[in-house]
Amino acid sequence: MIDNGGNDPQSGNYPRRGFKRSLFDGGIRNLAFISGPFLPRSQRGDVSNELFHCIDWFPTLVHVAGGSTDGMGLYGMNQWKTVRYRIEWNRIKFYQSW
């Protein structure tokens, strides 16, 4: 997971052409990877285009570790089914923080 770069096109966000609030890679769309023995070999190297917000990492990783964030009032969502089982996420809300 990466920070989405500088505030304007001159910020030097190369090789991405985006910058904060732009719709290009390096703007609101960034890359991330997940690695570990909990992913089957058949999934290693897969690419997903599902929406995964940075606030989703905490509930997802807590779930993988065997915990729960139920009742904590978090905005993030557990995305483990999307990551592990390739289940399409039908998100109806997306937290926006500019």
Residue 66 within a domain: yes
Q: Residue 8 falls within a domain, yes or no?
A: no
Q: Which domain holds residue 57?
A: 51-98
Structural domain includes residue 98: yes
The pLDDT value given to residue 59: 94
- The predicted-structure confidence for 40-98, as pLDDT tens digits, reads as follows 888 888 888 787 888 889 999 999 999 999 999 988 889 998 888 888 876 666 666 65
Whole-prediction pTM value?
0.69
Please check whether residue 17 lies inside any domain of the structure: no
Confidence class for position 26, pLDDT limits 50, 70, 90: low
For the chain, how many structural domains are there in total?
1
Residue-wise over 62-98: b if at least 16 C-beta within 10 A, else e?
A: bbeeeeebeeeeeebbbbbebbbeeeeeeeeeeeeee
Q: What is the pLDDT of residue 63?
A: 95
The verdict on residue 13 lying in a domain is: no
Instruction: pLDDT band for 36, please (50, 70, 90 cuts).
Output: confident
65, 45 Cβ separation under 8 angstroms: no
Q: Within a domain: residue 86?
A: yes
